[in-house]
Amino acid sequence: MTNDLSTNDSIEISRRKMMGLVVGVINLGLIGSIVGPMVGFATAPLTVKRKQRWVELMDESMIQPGEVKEVNYSMRVVDGYHEIEQKYTVYLRRGEEDVICIDPACTHLGCRVKFQSEQHRFVCPCHGGVFDDQGNNKSGPPPKPLERHPVKIEAGKIWISREV
């Protein structure tokens, strides 16, 4: 009789171990199904490769050396599941031999800067950040210069590169 009892105990112990293993696998599956998409969502911006697209802005003759000009343009971008026409603004500054493209978003909190032609500077109306006419920060809270976009001149046209 003791032989039968010990046989039943070993069967019951293996059943418990098996049930514990099944419950553990189910729990791991549930945790993986919750954590996996969260990790994928959080790391998606790091894995998405953005493409550069060249956009034609204007004729080269429309801006003189030493001039800073606000330029509005639009381009088609994919927004979620549909394509939309997105409008943008940049400042072009023409030097003696080159053209630079300055993004108007302040590097402090993203407010739109305004160019003051009399003082040859950009000023952020939100927190008083001041940048020179090349976008270098001069005073106020902005931590770095205004962002620049690559520029090329081909066949008398000014083109800038934007991420899409």
The angle at the Cα of 83, spanning 77 to 89, to the nearest 5 degrees, equals 35
Mean pLDDT of 125-133: 90
The string of pLDDT tens digits covering residues 6-25 is 555 556 668 888 888 899 99
Tokens of 150: 């690559």
Domain boundaries, the chain: 1-48, 52-163
Q: Which CATH architecture is the domain 52-163 placed in?
A: 3-layer Sandwich (2.102)
User: Could you tell me what percent of the chain has a pLDDT over 90?
Assistant: 37
- Whose tokens are 């003759």? That residue is 61
| The pLDDT of residue 11 | 60
**Per-residue pLDDT, 8:** 55
Give the model's pLDDT for residue 70.
92
Asked if residue 111 lies in contact with residue 124, where contact means CB atoms within 8 angstroms, the answer is yes
Average pLDDT, the chain: 86
Quick: pLDDT tens for 53-110. Answer: 888 889 988 988 889 999 999 888 877 788 888 899 999 999 888 899 999 999 988 8
Residue-level pLDDT at 142: 87
CA-based max dimension of the chain: 107
State the pLDDT confidence band at 112, using cuts at 50, 70 and 90: very high
